[in-house]
């Protein structure tokens, strides 16, 4: 069943440029890119249990690096893209020290660090162009192929995102991923078990930053224009929300979240001027009613229907026997078990 579904998705994905027009392909590409950013954030929120509010910083430095290397130094794809990811990783190595703090301090610190990146992008006009940004990024030329057409670039993005997704899957199913989730549940317990909690969190942060950088590189070639808008707090907050909305701790979740957020933004902003409120309401609704996102809701519903199957269907009165309630609890708790591999 799952393989059929994957096959169907793969075929749709490959045929997309023929099925959709330029505008929609551009949107789908954007969803993939921002979904990747949200995925990088989710490594920390969903698996490690810490909330970084400045990841747009890594996204933006990678985008700027790639754009500047291409536009001002004509370095070509491999150097520009590689440079972008490298700079993001280096920044994550520095900013990663923030995992020394915890709780609210970590949140506010990452927020401020992300703001630094935005501030530098805005005011270091001689280097970043400030508000003018870096424009006219040429389409990427990989080997002999020039991805000039947006529909063709979509394939490059799809391949890169798919590879990253598979690598990510490997990572979160490995003992490292297991340890992260253990840290999410209880840092002190993991420390007691002999794990180097700081090293794990730091490594996760750097990997996450690097992945955000990959998304940034893809963004630079998609938008062909990089400005401080890529580094704002709003961008970071949206990345967090996408992961949560779609379903934290999953791989598809962030992409689903990205699709929803971008869908809202594009569809709603075309018609109403108050689409920011819609975004705000989505934030609020997600936190209050779908804290594990859409995939979490789906899991809950599946769990609840499984529990219903356990208790006798024709009971005259609600069955409050210990056996039934345990079964119901087991059914409901199944998706919550720590360390269980994500779908």
Partner 1 sequence: MTPWTPWILQALNGISMGALLFLLAAGFTLTFGLGRVVNLAHGAFYLLGGYLGLTVLRATGSFWLALVAAGAAIVGVSWACDRFLIRRTRENVLGQVLLTVGIAYVLADICLAFWGGSPLRVPPPEFARGPIDLPGGIVYPRYRFLLILFGVLVAGVLWLLYSRTQLGALVRAGVDDREMVDALGINVDRLFALVFGLAAFLAGLSGVAGGAFLTLYPGADWDILAYALVVVIVGGLGSLGGAMIGSLIVGLVDAYGRWLLPEFSYFMVFGPMALLLLVRPTGLFGREA
Partner 2 sequence: MRRVTAALVFALVSTVVSLASAQEEIRIGFLAPLTGALAKSGQDTVRGHELFWEQQGNKVAGRPVRIIVADTACNPDNALSHARRLVHNEKVHFLVGPLCGHEGPAVAQVSRETGVPVFVPVAGADEITQWKRVPTVIRTGATSSQTSQPFGEWLAREGTCKNITTIGNDYTFPHEAIGGALATFKQAGGKVAKVFWSPIGTADYGPILAGIPAGTDCVVVAVVGTDRLRLLEQWYDFGYDRKYKIHGLYWLMSDVLPEASDRAVGLIGASLIWADGLETPEAKAFIDAYARKYKQVPSWFAEANYSTGLWTKLALEAIKGKVEDRAAFLDAVRATKVKAPRGPLALDKYDNPIQNVYIQKVVKQKHPVLGEIKVSVPVKTYEGVSQFWTWKPEEVLSRGPYARQ
Among 10, 12, 15, 23, binds partner 2 (CB under 8 A): 23
Q: Judged by CB, which is closer to partner 1: 300, or 319?
A: 300
> Cβ of residue 176: shortest distance to partner 1, in angstroms?
22
Contact 99, 201 (CB under 8 A): yes
Q: Which of residues 109-138 bind partner 2 (CB under 8 A)?
A: 122-123, 125-126, 130-133, 135-136
Among 11, 97, 163, 193, binds partner 1 (CB under 8 A): 97
Q: Which of residues 210-239 bind partner 2 (CB under 8 A)?
A: 223-225, 227, 229-230
Among 145, 199, 287, 301, binds partner 1 (CB under 8 A): 287
* Phi, psi at 53, each rounded to 5°: -110, 25
Size of the site for partner 1 (CB under 8 A): 46
162 binds, among partner 2, partner 1, none (CB under 5 to 8 A by kind): none
Q: Judged by CB, which is closer to partner 2: 71, or 328?
A: 71
Among 21, 167, 291, 338, binds partner 1 (CB under 8 A): 291
3-state secondary structure 98-149: HHHCCHHHHHHHHHHHHHHHHHHHHHCHHHHCHHHCEECCCCCEECCEECCC
Q: Is 151 in the site for partner 1 (CB under 8 A)?
A: no
Q: Which helix (H) or strand (E) holds 226?
A: strand 225-226
> Cβ of residue 253: shortest distance to partner 2, in angstroms?
25
Rounded distance between C-alpha atoms, residue 107 and residue 43, angstroms: 15
Residues with Cβ within 8 Å of residue 235, at least 6 apart in sequence:
56, 59, 60, 229
267 binds, among partner 1, partner 2, none (CB under 5 to 8 A by kind): none
Cα 133 to chain centroid distance, Å, stands at 24
Among 41, 279, 294, 327, binds partner 1 (CB under 8 A): 279
- Tell which residue, 61, 84, 59, 224, has the closest CA to residue 147: 224
Cα 282 to chain centroid distance, Å, stands at 17
> Cβ of residue 243: shortest distance to partner 1, in angstroms?
11
3-state secondary structure of 225: strand
> Cβ of residue 106: shortest distance to partner 1, in angstroms?
8
Rounded distance between C-alpha atoms, residue 131 and residue 307, angstroms: 56
Q: What residues make contact with partner 2 under the rule CB under 8 A?
A: 21-23, 26, 122-123, 125-126, 130-133, 135-136, 223-225, 227, 229-230, 266, 270-274
């Amino acid at each position: 069943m799952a393989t059929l579904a994957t096959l169907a998705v793969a075929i749709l994905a490959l045929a997309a440029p023929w099925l959709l027009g330029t505008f929609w392909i551009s949107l789908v590409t954007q969803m993939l890119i921002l979904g990747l950013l949200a995925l990088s954030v989710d490594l920390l929120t969903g698996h490690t249990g810490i909330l970084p509010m400045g990841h747009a910083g890594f996204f933006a430095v990678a985008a700027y690096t790639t754009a500047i290397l291409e536009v001002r130094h004509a370095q070509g794809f491999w150097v520009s893209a590689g440079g972008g990811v490298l700079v993001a990783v280096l920044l994550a190595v520095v900013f990663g020290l923030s995992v020394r703090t915890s709780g609210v301090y970590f949140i506010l610190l990452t927020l401020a660090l992300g703001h630094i990146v935005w501030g530098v992008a805005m005011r270091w006009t001689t280097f970043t162009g400030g508000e003018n940004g870096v424009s006219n990024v040429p389409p990427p030329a990989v080997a002999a192929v020039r991805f000039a057409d947006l529909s063709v670039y979509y394939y490059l993005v799809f391949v890169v995102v798919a590879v990253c997704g598979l690598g990510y899957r490997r990572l979160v199913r490995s003992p490292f991923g297991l340890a992260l989730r253990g840290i999410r549940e209880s840092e002190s317990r993991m420390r007691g078990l002999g794990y180097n909690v700081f090293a794990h969190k730091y490594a996760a942060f750097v990997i996450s930053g690097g992945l955000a950088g990959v998304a940034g590189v893809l963004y630079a070639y998609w938008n062909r224009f990089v400005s401080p808008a890529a580094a704002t707090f709003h961008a970071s907050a949206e990345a967090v929300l996408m992961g949560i909305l779609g379903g934290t701790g999953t791989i598809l979740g962030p992409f689903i979240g990205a699709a929803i957020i971008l869908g809202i933004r594009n569809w709603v902003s075309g018609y109403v001027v108050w689409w920011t409120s819609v975004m705000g309401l989505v934030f609020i609704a997600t936190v209050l009613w779908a804290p594990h996102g859409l995939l979490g809701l789906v899991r809950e519903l599946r769990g609840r229907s499984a529990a219903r199957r356990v208790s006798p269907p024709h009971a005259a009165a609600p069955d409050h026997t210990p056996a039934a309630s345990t079964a119901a609890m087991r059914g409901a708790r199944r998706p919550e078990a720590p360390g269980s591999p994500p779908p």
